[in-house]
Amino acid sequence: MTQRLGETQLPHLFEPVTWAGFAIKNRIKYGACCVSNYNTRDGFITERELARTKVIAGTGCGIITNQGAYPDPLGEGKAYFSQIALFDDKFIPQFEKIAGYIHDGGGIAIQQILHAGRYGGIDLGYCIQPSIVPQTLPHFRPPREITREQIRETIEQHAEAAKRAVKAGFDGTEITSFMGYLLATFNSKFTNRRTDEYGGSIANRGRFMRELIYAIKAATGGGHPLVVRLNGAELMDRWGGNDEDECFELMQQAAECGADMISVTVGWQEAPDSSIGRDVPPGHWNRLAARAKRLLPDTPVAFGVRLPDPIMADRCLAEGQFDFWEVCRPLLADPDLVKKAAEARLDEVKRCIGSLNCLSRLFRDLPYTCTMNPALGHEVEPAYQITPAASRKKIMIIGAGPAGMECAIAATRRGHQVTVYERGERIGGSLLGYAAHDLAHKDDLASVAEYYRVMAAKLGIEVRLGTQVDPKMMRSILHQFDAAVVAAGARADLQALPAPEEEGLLVEAMDVALGTRRPGRRVVVLGGGKVGLTLAESLKTSGSDVVVVERERRIAGDVMPSWKWRHAAWIEELDIPTMTGCRVTRIAKDGVTVVDGKGRETTLPADTVIAASPMRGNQELFAELEWSIDELHGCGDVMVPRGLTQAIHDGYRLGCRL
């Protein structure tokens, strides 16, 4: 078969290999990526899940791992309200469909068995683990110590679930310690404080894992490989968890027991350090995979933690750091990632930006979605599919930020002719300013704007930069268009704040973010949401003295749940004072006067006061357009100021239906 350009440029990634007797078309393994929460409360798989799985099966990965199923009928292993189950033969028919989809796509099908242990028992009000170690996060259930008899029963349940997976057509199975699930709690000295044969020494702590491996391999027979996901680093030092040497000794145990592949993971849900967010640079954890490969030269190693880039993955494979690139979230963001890599179209990839919207949703017991991929979880719904337009229209879009560009791309793909008007000199809108000041990996957010620039050029979308749309200009061009979309974003509402007593003292946040206004040395930021915090953190690292004033009782109110801790940590590390529950009463040359909830007044000296809250949409154009064009729409922050996820989703959905 003729190789495509990208396959020749990434020869190690697209190298056909043999693993456990199976011919694999490439060295890419789709990771289970936790669970989707698209299914029923009693463990059955829904049409929504099946539609998503069809997309996964078509990603082009050589090995595809289905999301974790809990193995026990009581539900002690159930971590999420809508997690799938595999404790009874009644579940087999739907798993047969999924295995069939994966095989039809040319992949090897692996079913993950996931007993959540410390994080399980979501319907029961308690969890089980090796020892009674109190939860460090209050939303998890109080623990009960698992007995020897229950250990034997749990191992048997895993083996029976694995046998059902094979009966359903899966080629192999996987067990996981990722995120601190049951397997991890036995392995770790943080949660395993037993004094019997399952606790104490690392050999004893690994006994549960070894018995699991033996039982599953005996139950499934030869020819059905078993993957074991194990931490290369727990990141649980604060709580007395395993160090890295102990983690690798457990990998050695698993390999010696006959594990057919070791998947190297990082972190627990309770870990105080980040493992997969965008504050972790891509490639940061590669050393763990390389160490595992040196330790286990004869056991295949899979790895992909914070490694979203196929080029880096190919280089790691060439250097022998691991054997399979294990990828999940990047394929949630762009299911065509592997195909685009094979066709040398990596500039068209929607990159996973590590915003962790997926985890934020799961941690609130919601179905996961993706900031970058609005169609994720909606594959079964026609309204989320790009289909040919019933009639082709000429559409003007005002604003080249994420909402406007998503709308433009979707509408163009449907056959419409789109022109985008942007007052700035670059595609990206306010996101450009936010990205420039982000203390995390700046290139992730910047890649969003670059993607829009590339796609506008490839799809032939006309983008008129440096163009301010005003009533006079609109009257001269509106007759050319059938529809208008206002995606003009939002700005701080200066009228909601006291009028400054000196001109130039109060500035709008995005003017600072985009570099059109330079703040002084003493800065007061009004608003402790994501815009205000991002600016405050950046300005503090640049040498300014910064104070954040927030009207609500807590900062980060509009920040994604899985990212709140990151801002809180940065604020603490940078020693940025925050005054919460305060309202501003005066903005003057001698400073900003604020009053707290008890009526106490404080004046904060300031050379510059940055308004980052409240935000309001730039809706002025709606009144001008209402009686001037056939169709008028709005999307993104212009409607309700929220964030990047909502802007992308709004724009895409509107583009799909125009």
Q: What would the DSSP string read from start to end of 38-94?
A: -S-TTSPPPHHHHHHHHHHHTS--SEEEEEEEB--TT-TT--STT--B-SSGGGHHH
269-273, 336-340, 528-532, 633-637: least confidently modelled range: 269-273
Beta-carbon contacts of 379 under 8 Å, excluding residues fewer than 6 positions away, are: 48, 51, 52, 54, 55
Q: Is the peptide bond before 614 cis (omega within 30 degrees of 0)?
A: yes
Residue 1 banded pLDDT, cuts 50, 70, 90: low
Residue whose pair of structure tokens reads 């004094």 in the numeric block: 195
pTM of the model as a whole: 0.95
Domains present along the chain, CATH in parentheses: 5-280 (3.20.20.70), 389-489+618-657 (3.40.50.720), 492-616 (3.50.50.60)
pLDDT reading at 482 higher than 80: yes
* DSSP assigned state of 480: G
Over residues 517-536, the pLDDT tens digits come to 999 999 999 999 999 999 99
User: Mean pLDDT, the chain, as a whole number?
Assistant: 95
Mean pLDDT on 410-416: 98
CB 413 within 8 A of CB 386: yes
Q: What is the pLDDT of residue 355?
A: 86
Over residues 240-255, the pLDDT tens digits come to 999 999 999 999 999 9
Residue 2 banded pLDDT, cuts 50, 70, 90: low
Over residues 42-76, the pLDDT tens digits come to 999 999 999 999 999 999 999 999 999 999 999 99
CA quadruple 342, 343, 346, 351: dihedral positive or negative?
negative
212-221, 265-274, 467-476, 501-510: least confidently modelled range: 467-476
Residue 110 banded pLDDT, cuts 50, 70, 90: very high
Instruction: Give the type of residue at 116.
Output: A
DSSP helix/strand/coil, 299: coil
Over residues 330-365, the pLDDT tens digits come to 999 999 999 999 999 999 999 999 888 888 888 888
Mean pLDDT on 161-180: 96
Beta-carbon contacts of 434 under 8 Å, excluding residues fewer than 6 positions away, are: 445, 513, 530, 531, 534
Q: What is the pLDDT of residue 363?
A: 81
Q: Helix axis angle, 286-295 relative to 244-256, nearest 10°?
A: 40
